[in-house]
Amino acid sequence: MAEQTTTTEQRGPREGRPPREGRGGGHGPGDRGERGDRGERRGFDRGRPEGPPEIELEKLIHDSLYLDNQAHSIVSRMRDMDSGTKSQLRRLYSAVRRAVRAPEAERQHEFVMLRARLAYTIARHGLRSLDQLEKLLLQVTRKNDIRGYERFKDLFEAIVAYNE
């Protein structure tokens, strides 16, 4: 007995199916990628980056006001987005301080492990507002410069202070 297969080429894409209700037949504003009734983009948005812009390491090293603004921005997002506790932040800050104090030969390794710990904490506790810090930590670790490590510590200290 031969199997009967029916493909869309043989029967047409909509043959035998009722039209969709409330979607305008699949060609209107309800389709993915089109603008809806309120003008927002549905699906993915190609023009806008995900989340806030990255923190610029060089600017952070040379501009104290930039560091302060970034700390305020992160704390503001934390209050809006996350339910992280102050003790989680203080624990991470203690790890940052230990990593900065590590001997020069071990400092980069300590910061690599700190990044892993930060990534785990972000994922485990849903702290999406700290994603920028994780990206910055990668930049700092790649540069492997004591000024970058110190500024990262200063930024984290400001975040802890503003979050109190």
Would you list the DSSP string of 86-141? Answer: HHHHHHHHHHHHHHHHS-HHHHHHHHHHHHHHHHHHHHHHT-GGGHHHHHHHHHHH
Task: State the pLDDT confidence band at 31, using cuts at 50, 70 and 90.
Answer: very low
pLDDT in tens, 85-114: 788 889 999 999 999 999 999 999 999 999
Q: What is the pLDDT of residue 62?
A: 94
Q: What is the pLDDT of residue 77?
A: 86
Rounded Cα distance between 141 and 121, Å, is 18
pLDDT in tens, 115-161: 999 999 889 888 888 888 999 999 999 999 999 999 999 999 999 99
* Closest residue by Cα to residue 156 from 100, 80, 116: 100
Q: Which residue has the tokens 């030969």?
A: 105
The interaxial angle of helices 104-125 and 86-101, nearest 10 deg, is: 160
| pTM score | 0.66
